[in-house]
Structure 1
Amino acid sequence: MTRFRPCIDLHRGAVKQIVGSSLKDDGSAPQTNFESDQPAAFFADLYRKDGLTGGHVIQLGPGNGEAAAQALAAYPGGLQIGGGITPENATQWLQLGASHVIVTSWLFDKDGYFSLDRLNRLVAEVGAGQLVIDLSCRAKNGGWVVAMDRWQKETDLWLNPETLRQLSQVCAEFLIHAADVEGKCEGIDPDLVAFLGEHSPVPCTYAGGARSLDDLEQVQTLSRGRVDLTIGSALDIFGGTQVAYRDCLAWNRGG
């Protein structure tokens, strides 16, 4: 069954919902849909009280370490952590309470070429059972290419059945943001969801574009219940008007 999975996106220490395609390294402010006056730990504690599992904390750039650590402390073992994960800090994040570490950019060199050696180093440090590989991607040439550095830079890795098959052998889950629609509340990428449902050998969470509770039903149908869904900007706890958090809880509890 497709589940709703919660998220906490951090930008400069604050909980925000951002249009993914607007994140840049040139100092310009990203397009922000919502910024909370509540700390990250508030949302982590909310998820803990409601028994939500498999959610993720994503650090979008620097300045988020303290907020992320506080969120993990509020829900030990209940949240995954991503953003700047390397073999040097991965174990520390697990010790701080993360259930899994999420990795993207570390798997590539500065020019965007995938490095099996880098992946093996991380697996040796934390083990496949606590590793989530983030294959967030952009649509290109009728397929999807993995993007790194907060979805700004395309890599040489394509999201295809062989990529999913090979990487599934060294990780517990995949997390995949559809960067082209992330934060826009204009609908999910149905082709990507169906592709993941057909080809992912391990649990997989899709994020990007969700705008209504019906999207949970759509993901359930398209993936045959094999892909979970994260809802961000459309959610009322993040300032949205299209999806009620309590309705997502009800969905996970079977209505």
Structure 2
Amino acid sequence: MSSAPRRRAQFRPCIDLHNGTVKQIVGGTLSALPEELRTNWQSQQPASFYGALYRRHALTGGHVIKLGPGNDAAAAEALQAWPGALHVGGGITCDNALEWLDKGAEKVIVTSYLFPGCKFSLERLQELERLVGKERLVVDVSCRKKDSRWIVAMNRWQDLTDLEVTAESLRMLSEHCSEFLIHAADVEGLCQGIDEELVARLAEWSPIRCTYAGGARHMQDLELVDRLSGGKIDLTFGSALDIFGGTGVTLDELVAWNKASPQ
């Protein structure tokens, strides 16, 4: 009797917001100094346009990321365009998590709140889990490479924390959330290829669903993530995608891939 086909990596959409506008930014330049920011592309469309677009193509599990202040209204508009289907992150705390779920987020994504003073707080993670429930919580373990290790980075990926991305740390975190979102901050927005070693390690280490973002250029990168991870890791495209001004890959190609892929 033939076995069922293995799951294939999926394309997961995103909406990155900066100063209330949908943008594609070189992640490593998101410092406190505006003159250091490198923007690849800025949309003329509101965030709700992209929420509606993803709804039309049944692209689920996308993330809406608020990169700094001034993005709440735009994020809410995106969520209202497809209630119950998008995840929201950026400044999520115990004080506002339920509010974002009420605004239509399927799940909330948390990073910096878990690292007061750049030190990981299990207590804060447990508190947030009790508040919203494990199934509605995504932990963002976006990271930078230091020597041969990946260290979780917070505060728009500028500050390194005391948490290393390892099999042990991901197993511990997975007890309190339903998914991981991981931006490879060193290659984010550069369109120079994915961090292949990180993708392979995430597939080996993560016991729960995981979405990788950073460096994807074309369809071959989605095929590469699928092969490296055995279909365990999903992929986000940003600056290379045609709807974000890119020329490397089209949304239609990615929609077709998802439709043809075993879930």
Quickly name the TM-score band, shorter chain normalised. over 0.9
Match of 1:158 in 2: 164
Matches within 5 A, 1:171-250: 171-250=177-256
| Structure 2 residue ranges without an equivalent (≥5) | 1-7
Matches within 5 A, 1:90-129: 90-110=97-117, 112-129=118-135
Alignment size in residue pairs: 254
Match of 1:134 in 2: 140
Deviations 1:104-150 (A, max 9, x none): 0000012x110111111111111111000000000112010000001
Distance, in Å, in 2 between the alignment partners of 1:158 and 1:198 is 15
Match of 2:70 in 1: 63
TM-score (norm 1): 0.98
Match of 1:28 in 2: 35
Distance, in Å, in 2 between the alignment partners of 1:197 and 1:254 is 22
Match of 1:149 in 2: 155
Q: Which amino acid aligns with 1:131?
A: L
Q: Which amino acid aligns with 1:79?
A: L
After the TM superposition, list the runs of 4 or more consecutive aligned residues in structure 1 that deviate by more than 6 angstroms: none
Correspondence for 2:16 among 5, 9, 20: 9
Matched residue SS, 1:28: helix
Matched residue SS, 1:4: coil
RMSD between superposed Cα atoms in Å: 0.8
Correspondence for 1:44 among 36, 48, 51: 51
Greater CA drift, 9-18 or 137-146 = 137-146
Distance, in Å, in 2 between the alignment partners of 1:17 and 1:222 is 26
Q: CA deviation at 1:30?
A: 1.2
Q: Which amino acid aligns with 1:94?
A: L
Distance, in Å, in 2 between the alignment partners of 1:240 and 1:36 is 12
Greater CA drift, 93-102 or 25-34 = 25-34
Q: Which amino acid aligns with 1:204?
A: C
Distance, in Å, in 1 between the alignment partners of 2:95 and 2:241 is 35
| Structure 1 residue ranges without an equivalent (≥5) | none
Matched residue SS, 1:5: coil
Distance, in Å, in 2 between the alignment partners of 1:2 and 1:91 is 30
Matched residue SS, 2:105: coil
Q: CA deviation at 1:28?
A: 2.9
Q: Which amino acid aligns with 2:157?
A: W
